[in-house]
Amino acid sequence: MELTYRPRRLRRTPALRSMVRENSLAASDFIYPLFVHEGNDIEQIVAMPGANRWTLDGLVEEVIRAWNLGIRCVVLFPKVDDALKTEAGEECFNENGLIPKAIRRLKKELPEMTIMTDVALDPYSIDGHDGIVSAEGIVLNDETIENLCKQAIVQAEAGADLIGPSDMMDGRVGAIRESLDDEGFENVGIISYTAKYSSAYYGPFREALDSAPRSLNEKPIPKDKSTYQMDPANAREAITEAQLDEQEGSDILMVKPGLAYLDIIYRLRQESELPIAAYNVSGEYSMIKAAAEKGWIDERSVVLETLLSFKRAGADLILTYHACDAAAWLKKVE
């Protein structure tokens, strides 16, 4: 055949392929989500093989391990004792609470590690929602933001580097930015959950934190989070959310979930010059783990291909429970 151009020429050898490779992965791309609880024992999370609820001591060891693998950021999620949960989630801004204690401990043991936090009420709420639920069963926007601002300030005081509002209340990024600045924390960044969808992929995460919506009394509780998290059918709306978060002072934009929403990552990459993060969520993680345990897929190959897909779509950062495994695999490749 008389072909002027043969694309396979540049695929012929490993060296040629590496020369023209458009995207690559590095351990510093990863943000490692970690669950922490007040217990004395490290607890395995059944729905997330390989993931644990860490004690404070275990958390420190795991974060040091991540650092040694080249990971430079972790995000903390608390499993809060039921006795501390209330309708307004006031435990979220307890300066002696689990997350502030964990931040202070990590900053003492490994000050170089970037610490990201989660700002939302669901781990602290008896109702399991990211905001305060009214007597009529409505998730209240402005009242919730007051507590989120208090939560963010307590986390910043403890030493957090990045505040991650995951609640999806309207206007919370601007309110948190203003509160942080007023308290002298103008150097603390905001990584906003910009396009967070009302997704079925969050199930294992909610098991890990016991944070699913639930009704413990006669108050009507919305059965899901669709009145504030985004409709999975919508794409253009993500651009609106991104524009608002950018205007309100977000430093990094996030898309959650990641794998089922690669098109959203791509759209935001075209619209914004800010760094973009993709959250490779618990359901995506657990599906790979389950298939690998069955021997149906090669875990290493599928994980690295999946993570690379986020970079190809336009993400700069990836929150993933695979972080340490992926970092170790990449280190061996190098």
**Looking at the annotation, which residues are catalytic?**
196, 256
Nearest residue to 175 (alpha-carbon basis) of 155, 145, 153, 201: 145
96 exposure class (CB count in 10 Å sphere: 0-12, 13-18, 19+): exposed
CA distance 116 to 314: 21
Token pair 């909610």 in the structure block, residue: 206
**DSSP code string of 274-288:** S-EEEEE-HHHHHHH
Nearest residue to 37 (alpha-carbon basis) of 113, 114, 125, 101: 101
Runs of H (alpha helix) within 159-261: 172-182, 203-209, 236-248
The token duo for 68 is 């040694």
CA distance 155 to 253: 20
Beta partners for 125? 86
Angle, CA 261 vertex, CA 255 and CA 267 arms, to 5°? 75
The token duo for 259 is 């794998």
- Between the alpha carbon of residue 91 and those of residues 55, 114, 121, 249, the distances in Å are 19, 24, 9, 26
SS3 of residue 304 by DSSP = helix
The token duo for 266 is 């791509």
